Amino acid sequence: MSVISLASGASCWRGLDYYKNKKIINLKKINDYEFTGTAIGTNNYDIYLDVSHPRRSTCSCPLANGKRILCKHIVATFFTAFPEEAKSFEKEQERLQEEYEDYQEKLYNKTQSYIKSLTKKELVDELSYILDYAPDWVYNDFVRRNDIE
């Protein structure tokens, strides 16, 4: 398992931001797999990164201190030690976003096409079904937006 696959999405994105803003200082390479550094900000935190065993990595921040959590500071240290990983992460996220947007556009177009193919009765039946089985907030929003009471 890698640092990126074990960290939360939020930690990865915030870690990327910390990396880009050069918030990791005093990066020291212990060997090919271990690094230490300091995250600077409102408070400074000491980081130990073990790439071969990411869960052994530590950070003195409140989120990760004494826990096996890979926080944004550990991720930022990883990206600082391996800048190509930061580029790869960002490129993959952009690809996934583009893929998601393409999927959403296709789904929207299919939905529009389906709606336009329905007769008035079929459309009324579909809307009734949706309102009958939708969560209460959908029904309540529909009633509110259409001033029905």
Residue range 71-112, pLDDT digits in tens: 999 999 999 999 999 999 999 999 999 999 999 999 999 999
Confidence of residue 143 (pLDDT cuts 50, 70, 90): confident
Assess if residue 74 is contained within a domain.
yes
The residue range of the domain holding 31 is 3-88
Domain count across the chain: 2
* Residue 73 covered by a domain: yes
Calpha distance 94→63 (Å, rounded): 28
Question: Do 122 and 83 reside in the same domain of the chain?
Answer: no
Examine the domain organization and report whether 21 and 82 are in the same domain: yes
In a domain, 77, yes or no: yes
d(CA 143, CA 124): 16
